[in-house]
Structure 1
């Protein structure tokens, strides 16, 4: 038996991480989304009002789990948009061991649930390799999804290293929803851990897909907020600002920053669009309260087991600020990532065809709210997620409780801290010296600073003196109470991709703030103090060099400059035998963007029906299927544009060869597709796809052959999913061509 390396009363560790929520959303700190369980942790512990993220999901998570800055651990960008520069590789190196690896070696049971988003995209199939999956980073158990987002109703999930299909019902008998599912599973794990290893403490990392897009929640949760946001995002900010001051969450002298000219006012929105924009916010609010509700179920279970008292809980409200990627309001949020500009009338037309506003939040939309709501959710700060220059992208409320050792105190901790500081805090609490080696690999220095000194000293001088920020060229440096920042070349709430042809980061306009006097970055001192700004800019470059954050803007390489370089399998042809399912889109052939031919040898019965192959989901994808003997093809451009082809005659029964030839060419600004369907060498259907998706259809759905699992691409067979092919697939070959 291994010797015990921890004191007998070592606390359990629980990290709860909510996704894409800003500081102005939770009622706990002045917002208007009901968050009783965040309030519960805050009331039984302490809260931090100057705690920070990186402004983006994979980077924040990598820093949180390792205690190192995001580019030091290769996460300057999300995993799906990684490139070859060290700081943007998308892979946490084994020289930066995770908290889970260390705690497991010290005798903790370790487990993670929900969103992961720290595995190289090309390594997410069921055949691995698994070195960079959660189980390869010290988690003994994982149940969730590897990508950056997932359908809340039809997710592609894995348990440890195996794909699993979701149950139809949750433990309470309600219809399936991902947040409830990961709460059910975590509660079961807690009960088993107590039964099987009662002498071991545990480390749980419970990270919801909420409130990242798509915003999906049962209608009763959205309806709780009907009418609450009718007066728009500008008035929301005013109310939240006043409430946060009254609560003492922000200082009395804080200024409410102004709306940027590039972001629409509520009054400028046409009246006939306002019901759509209101409903999007109602759905988001219900979705977010629903996530807090299920976090509370875990707290309740720990209390029932008598273990909450000795559990150190970090409840982190956001891996970045509120997301403006919904831009003008959307029913399919990957439109923004693909740089496809649309009009609100496109979205309204699509949802009216699906049944009206009540379809928002359902499995039939991947909706996200207008960027104005994201800006409101970042009250009182400037900007949103993806802006590392301003606190609207990086400042995340955090509540910490540990009833056995930490006295409840409602005075906010205002020391400047960052997600890299969680790991060293846990190490200090447990008396652990960071290991020099893990599994024989020498370890990188830890960048974080323990926050334990603040636990019972609310007025203690802050011990984090310097912190750099950079996401896609939006960057900042904090040092000794000052902040220098520059917005960068990309505005998240502006549709389309930025023009980088003339961008030179050396020419960017920098701002300067005295944070001891200017809580919200409202008063730019750059023109008044050029020498201090010069010194801060030099410090930023020093920190960037130390942390592999060069070249500046390196994270823009794939999404803006070279989408063709996105991480992809190294193959140019594939051969599939029989039916194959659950091939993650980032590892699959790019059937919707690269010239290719799909050749299917099949045995087709009379009046055959069912899916031959499908890539993506209802929010965007393509599918080739048969209906009553007819060959059909559909290119679903994010629900706003569906291009469909159907053969004029039934396909003959028997052994048949079906070919789908797809050619794509850039006819600016669109990637246009030309599709030809052939049977036994003869064209039977085809035509032009006016706009294609250059980057990806989904973040988490898959390629399926012989059925359409998860979210179905076509509304035609939505009610017949997974719409299995009634014949037999012998071989399916995919070949890229010029």
Structure 2
């Protein structure tokens, strides 16, 4: 015991002597210069215990701060939506993109850059540097399943580039479309671990789904819903640009030495194509020649600019796309209008994006800012079908009237305005994907996956206006950013070992224009459309067209083979000439598919919107009853009990004062589909809005009594097990029937992509024209509302 105490005493004494020595203190301070950035968060240095009694006699150690590596640039990633390779002026388009083109003249244009063929997968791959199945994002988040690779839930071992930069001393922000969070996690109940603020973004301002109404968007600021301003000139594209500029100015004013990372991702030019009339007027008559002439013009301009090799052939268009000359005069007029609106939407988008770039220049930061301007997250969308759509939701609910030419012509003058929710004909998608055959969703053809990209960093990239033709993929952006910032890929993030980044840095291309491509193999897969690139060859199969259902089983698919090193547009199928090469590439695809959790292949579409069929979690957990209270609003469709294709009732306990109440008790959806239990001048009403095409109204005959009362709406569904059928809505006040209406049809699949449900307010567009958004706020008192399925 005595020896033990002696050893302990001498050990402590030696430690005190060591601590007190200047050498020990200097050694501890020096640790700050030896930062290990492979484990995040970065650990602060160990300081020995202080033995000096009086602070006046002691030297304080420096406060540990995480700072970005010296010389690390600001980083801005701009990602447009649903715009293909032939969609920018720099790549030969007739569409207006002056700011993209200006950046291309001052930077590098990549003509062999690829995406995944769909929104959510491209976005996850972009911000992580991993393949989309490695991110569990096989398809869009709304159709996630329980299969590995397809759950829609970003794994903890796949950190985003935003999180890596944030923990290395960057300020980080995201604006616009965030289509990467699992749909059942987008509610006030969370969990919030996969929301933008928790995957690396200090600031977020945008929407959480695949699309939004640009006039009345469902916007979140960080974790909180915000109401759209009551401004007739409001448009989200302008709003998000302004918000991003304000944030950058604020960040630079307070911390000019701290670099920023901005992820600027407009919902444009994804449907709905919403744009002010002033932009549309500028495009009048520009598309009257039709998609065949314009597609050929884009192709010729691409050759002239040197964006595609001079010997490139224009690939044939899909057989389903009619020749423009075979269309009626009425069809030509309508489709030309659709293209005018699309072009106007792109013009506005590029203008607002240009404002962001100009703001960076005005702050004196442009030279030290690495910008990736990616013109599309996939090919141009053909999801408008052969005719285009007045209301995109008519497509999801299989309603033919939404694509009826005569009906759509009634909306010719207001196409693109707040009274429409439009998409364009697939013929234009093929034209703007020139020189390729296919479009968005087709991962087995470059028309679905090739997008123009400009990279600019004046301090580092000295070449200007040059083309880089190395083969690259969206997973290559994140490792490029890390190399530019002087950062390693982290091994551990927030205690979780990370899987390696699967992309390849593109930085080698900046100074070596003729360097061979370093990204030599890449698989592609979407809804069973699948293919593989390997060292100048591409093999793939178009399993399902964007506007049709699968025609074959996977084992019956016909594969094509292209020598893309020599055949830029994939115009000549060599499968019969080189069956041995095709066979090797098919085997290579299977190897990559197993490696990255691509299997099993899944070509289901409409079925996957049903959580039960898809096998993903459902916030309602099969419940039959949901009770809500005043102030509960902003509930997206996946957060709300599913009242489609069934009988149900709504029971509301309300209180009325001396003045008649007005406003919404409970509503779901909006102008383009939904329903509302509301009160007008004290009289209860139930409005069912079928896709903006027909309104059915059950109205009471007397005002609600003063004080407490119970208002009930009972819907008796007529369809049995058959979806989308009609029924009868009956209103009751204090147990007495006061009105009813027959509803001929109901929406069987979806009310809206982003319109919400809420008590006491109709938050975005309004279900009924009898009230506006401000007037939808209930003026009485709502104690509770219960929805019960029968």
- Smaller-chain TM-score range? over 0.9
Structure 1 distance, partners of 2:468, 2:550, is: 41
Counterparts of 1:686-705 in structure 2, within 5 Å, are: 686-705=740-759
2:760 to 690, 701, 706: 706
Structure 2 distance, partners of 1:560, 1:153, is: 26
* TM-superposed deviation, 1:669: 7.8
Q: Sort the Cα spacing of 1:560 and 1:697 in 2 relative to 1 into closer, same or farther, 3 A.
A: closer
1:38 aligns to 2:100 (yes or no): yes
Partner deviation per Cα, 1:537-581 (whole Å, 9 max, x = no partner): 111111111111111126648448878547632243211122422
1:512 aligns to 2:561 (yes or no): yes
Residue aligning to 2:421 = 366
Partner deviation per Cα, 1:44-87 (whole Å, 9 max, x = no partner): 11010010000000000000000000011100011111111111
Residue aligning to 2:394 = 335
Residue aligning to 2:709 = 656
1:618 aligns to 2:671 (yes or no): yes
Structure 1 residue runs of 5 or longer lacking an equivalent are none
Residue aligning to 2:6 = none
2:786 to 708, 712, 733: 733
Partner deviation per Cα, 1:79-120 (whole Å, 9 max, x = no partner): 111111111101111110000111111111111101001111
**Do the aligned residues in 2 keep the contact of 1:567 with 1:586 (CA within 8 Å)?**
no
The worse-fitting range, judged by mean Cα deviation, of 201-210 and 559-568 is: 559-568
Structure 2 distance, partners of 1:667, 1:45, is: 61
* TM-superposed deviation, 1:436: 1.1
Residue aligning to 1:217 = 275
1:380 to 420, 429, 435: 435
Q: Sort the Cα spacing of 1:706 and 1:350 in 2 relative to 1 into closer, same or farther, 3 A.
A: farther
Counterparts of 1:46-445 in structure 2, within 5 Å, are: 46-168=108-230, 175-327=233-385, 328-342=387-401, 344-345=403-404, 348-349=406-407, 352=410, 356-445=411-500
Q: Sort the Cα spacing of 1:470 and 1:594 in 2 relative to 1 into closer, same or farther, 3 A.
A: farther
The worse-fitting range, judged by mean Cα deviation, of 556-565 and 701-710 is: 556-565
Secondary structure (helix, strand or coil) at the match of 2:78 reads strand
Structure 2 distance, partners of 1:175, 1:541, is: 52
> How many residue pairs align between the two structures?
721
Structure 1 distance, partners of 2:565, 2:716, is: 58
Structure 1 distance, partners of 2:502, 2:392, is: 34
Secondary structure (helix, strand or coil) at the match of 1:672 reads coil
* TM-superposed deviation, 1:668: 9.4
Residue aligning to 1:589 = 641
The worse-fitting range, judged by mean Cα deviation, of 447-456 and 125-134 is: 125-134
Secondary structure (helix, strand or coil) at the match of 1:294 reads helix
**Do the aligned residues in 2 keep the contact of 1:24 with 1:377 (CA within 8 Å)?**
yes
Partner deviation per Cα, 1:420-478 (whole Å, 9 max, x = no partner): 00011111222322111100011112110111111121111001111011111111111
Q: Sort the Cα spacing of 1:419 and 1:722 in 2 relative to 1 into closer, same or farther, 3 A.
A: farther
Q: CA RMSD in A?
A: 2.2
Structure 2 distance, partners of 1:343, 1:430, is: 50
Residue aligning to 2:506 = 451
Residue aligning to 1:543 = 592
The worse-fitting range, judged by mean Cα deviation, of 727-736 and 364-373 is: 727-736
Residue aligning to 2:618 = 568
Partner deviation per Cα, 1:291-330 (whole Å, 9 max, x = no partner): 1111111111111111000100000000111111111211
1:645 to 674, 682, 697: 697
* TM-superposed deviation, 1:241: 0.5
Structure 2 distance, partners of 1:318, 1:527, is: 33
Secondary structure (helix, strand or coil) at the match of 1:527 reads coil
Q: Sort the Cα spacing of 1:634 and 1:292 in 2 relative to 1 into closer, same or farther, 3 A.
A: same
Residue aligning to 1:717 = 771
Secondary structure (helix, strand or coil) at the match of 1:358 reads coil
Residue aligning to 1:609 = 662
Residue aligning to 1:475 = 530
**Do the aligned residues in 2 keep the contact of 1:603 with 1:729 (CA within 8 Å)?**
yes
Structure 1 distance, partners of 2:447, 2:596, is: 23
* TM-superposed deviation, 1:229: 0.2
Q: Sort the Cα spacing of 1:483 and 1:66 in 2 relative to 1 into closer, same or farther, 3 A.
A: same
Structure 1 distance, partners of 2:402, 2:272, is: 19
Partner deviation per Cα, 1:496-531 (whole Å, 9 max, x = no partner): xx267xx42111111111101211111111122222
Partner deviation per Cα, 1:209-240 (whole Å, 9 max, x = no partner): 11111110110001110000011111110110
2:72 to 3, 6, 10: 10
Larger Cα-atom Rg: 2
Counterparts of 1:519-530 in structure 2, within 5 Å, are: 519-530=568-579
* TM-superposed deviation, 1:712: 1.0
Structure 2 distance, partners of 1:684, 1:292, is: 53
The worse-fitting range, judged by mean Cα deviation, of 550-559 and 695-704 is: 550-559
Q: Sort the Cα spacing of 1:531 and 1:272 in 2 relative to 1 into closer, same or farther, 3 A.
A: same
Residue aligning to 1:20 = 82
Q: Sort the Cα spacing of 1:567 and 1:365 in 2 relative to 1 into closer, same or farther, 3 A.
A: farther
Q: Sort the Cα spacing of 1:293 and 1:269 in 2 relative to 1 into closer, same or farther, 3 A.
A: same
Partner deviation per Cα, 1:714-735 (whole Å, 9 max, x = no partner): 23334x6442233322210012
Structure 1 distance, partners of 2:709, 2:580, is: 75
1:632 to 676, 685, 700: 685
Secondary structure (helix, strand or coil) at the match of 2:776 reads coil
**Do the aligned residues in 2 keep the contact of 1:83 with 1:558 (CA within 8 Å)?**
no
Q: Sort the Cα spacing of 1:669 and 1:595 in 2 relative to 1 into closer, same or farther, 3 A.
A: closer
Secondary structure (helix, strand or coil) at the match of 1:597 reads strand
Structure 2 distance, partners of 1:722, 1:411, is: 55
Partner deviation per Cα, 1:356-379 (whole Å, 9 max, x = no partner): 423111121111111111111111
Partner deviation per Cα, 1:668-699 (whole Å, 9 max, x = no partner): 98521323223133444445434333332111
**Do the aligned residues in 2 keep the contact of 1:563 with 1:694 (CA within 8 Å)?**
no
**Do the aligned residues in 1 keep the contact of 2:390 with 2:422 (CA within 8 Å)?**
yes
Structure 2 distance, partners of 1:357, 1:315, is: 33
Partner deviation per Cα, 1:234-292 (whole Å, 9 max, x = no partner): 11101101111100011111111122222233223322233222211111111111111
Secondary structure (helix, strand or coil) at the match of 1:660 reads strand
Structure 1 distance, partners of 2:718, 2:332, is: 37
